[in-house]
Amino acid sequence: MPFGEARVYDVEASDLAIVTYGNGVWLALRAARALAEEDGLRARVVDLRWLNPLDGDVVARHARECGRLLVVDEGRRTGGIGEALVTAVVERLDPVVPMRRVAGQDTYIPLGPAANLVLPSETEIREAALALCRRVAGPAI
């Protein structure tokens, strides 16, 4: 992949765009597989691969094409990359598409298995995707 370009998995999927990076890619791909197999939803997973410069245009394009956006940020909820991604979409799309965000907790991230208590999980990603696609109550941005 050229420097600065995102990698897109299942580019033909149009139910939902999941934008993420790092460990979130693996979790999002697993959640996307479960969404397809168990819920009949196809999620396009966008691996940003680069956070600086942050490509807000590519995020907005995939959000617009799918009509829904789920941002998975392994960083903290407050002040994380996820906030910048949501802002990028809001600044570029009118009207703005429905969005949700799954992010780590606002805490120090412990080492070892305890990290799983504060980082995003495959289950949280799937639940947020279902809430977004079915317009049911779920985690807030």
Domain ranges in the chain?
7-134
Tokens coding 86: 């949501």
CATH class of segment(s) 7-134? alpha beta
Is residue 35 a contact partner of residue 129, using CB atoms and an 8 Å limit? yes
Is residue 105 a contact partner of residue 115, using CB atoms and an 8 Å limit? no
The pTM for the full model equals 0.90
pLDDT tens, residue by residue, 41-79: 999 999 999 998 899 999 999 999 999 999 999 999 999
- The stretches in the chain having pLDDT less than 50 are 137-139
- Confidence (pLDDT) at 141: 54
Helix/strand/coil for 124: helix
Name residue 55's amino acid: D
